[in-house]
Structure 1
Amino acid sequence: MGSLGDGGCDGIAENGSILYACYGQRAVTNLDQKTKKKLEDDFARAYAFWPEFRVWRFVTNASFGPASTDSLLKLRKKHGPDSKRPIALELWKAPDDLWWEAVSKLAWDQLDEIIPGSPHAQNVELDDLVELIEMLEGVEGGDVDHLLEDIRPVSSTKMDFNRLPRTTRTEFDEGRLLSLRIDKWFAGQPDPGLRDAKARRFRQIYEEARRVTSDVREIVRRVYVALGGPDFDMWTKRANAVYAVTVYFFDSCDIFEEPPADFSIGETGDVASD
């Protein structure tokens, strides 16, 4: 790497017998020609720098048309079984080949090491709520429209007292559309104490976050990550599911602070700084 380059190698496996070249394309014109050139250049560099590999895998999401195919076939013929240096040239087209040949064979802890916060990841602190998160991810927008009249309004008083920023309030507003679904999910669980147990754990996570920081945005973020993993917001449906579960426990007074009886909207509490 660096000034020495990588010799066309984006990964090496099986004691040097397999060499990977990975190409992600953002081009909008001359797609096939760009892929063709990348394939030829990467193979030429790898061939020159890495004398031991016997399998060369080209992993790409790029357009792979006639020009790229022609180059691949010519290289396969040139390095066939009877050549001076036989090499099997393989094409992995993302996402299907990449999924079936690699990702689907990983254990969950391996997948989480590569993509932190993936579903079922072992480091998600509330991992027994994964089923709930996945159920909420599957809810379409139209499925909640008829429930809106039954949903309680957001407590502006509590949000003011805890100094929740506008972005968090928007996230909570969106998440609360699924609150009745969460009620129904907990009611259907075989363990009648699951909801209270999760509420206690949410409270612990919230308290731990408060001991570390007074920034309310960071506190909310830590609660989100505990539920959905560090990259939960890379996917809209997962983020909305995380918002929904968080505000569910917010509304039920399990996390954040309850304002005193004489508190009025417009005041602020001492939970966090702006």
Structure 2
Amino acid sequence: MKIEVDIFSNSACISLLSLQAANVSTTFTFASRYFTRFPRASPVITSEQRYWWRIALELKLRKCSGDAFQDFFSTIMASAHGSDFVRVRPFGVVGDKGCDGYLQSTGKVFACYGAINAASDKVQYLIKKMDEDFAKALKALASIMKEWHMVHNLVDGLPADAILKLEALKQANKAHVFGFIGMEGFEATILALPLVKIDGLLGIAATAQDAQNLQTTELRDLVAAIVQATDAQPIDVSTIRPVPPDKLDYNKLPGHWRSMIAGGWQNAHLVDQYLRQHHDTMIGERIAQRFRLRYQYFKAQNLDPGTIMSSLYEGITGIGLVPPARQVAAQALIAYLFESCDIFEVPPEKAAS
């Protein structure tokens, strides 16, 4: 018996000769292992996958704006609902009638607001958009609209004025259901999908097995890229202080970033060992100085801890989907910097001691 399985494209096939039925599934598992690096024995999402995917989602939302944000939302909804979800695009002078997507089975109309860099400072523009988009939808889609939802990429939260505006719309239009869809809604929808679809949307997440097999080559490449981008500057060679156990709590980092840092501590000593053995004896201090300055720069802009963490992480990995081996290397480097007190704040009583 000869079986051909099309995996990645029309030309990519695996031929299996004279296999018993019981062995076929084994071969499929092997193919999956080759693609994902480690097998997924269970569809249950692990805590490691959850925080890596939440990090990937946060970075994606912060970077998506305008049409790109609407496309990302539509792709997620199509993955979750299939043909029940209808993508909407403006056509000529008729526009989109205040509708950026429609779920047929429930009569949900979606209006998207993708701010540049997930900025929340354009409050009046957001309020005006909510008013105008709902008014258009109410006028043009009254026969099919049962619910109206504002979809946004404001990762750090909505302005209070937007909440008040939605409540005003509810009170004035009690025949309709209203709501917001933000990062939490994106996360719930995406993580309810089959794992292969989550991988397609957010990339493959590093597993506990990946974390136990830190690739030195990935760490080397990250360190080299950081050093290459570092401008000549005075180096602070002050003694590295032990990390206070409550530093994570004190800095009020979002849960997924706290989990990521805590998960990286198992490899922080490997980063320290690599830097100590490097031919450039000052490389550790140069990297630490760069990240201290970047942290101080972001903090001076009054950015919240989650936004700062996102910027520091993306400064290490680069923009776009990050493969598992690089996730683990970046995680270890950030944990090392956090542990050595080079980034974020030390609780005052610990700093004084």
Please state which band the TM-score falls in when normalised by the shorter chain. Answer: 0.3 to 0.5
Give TM-score, length-normalised by structure 1: 0.44
Higher Rg:
1
Q: TM-score scaled to structure 2, two decimals?
A: 0.35
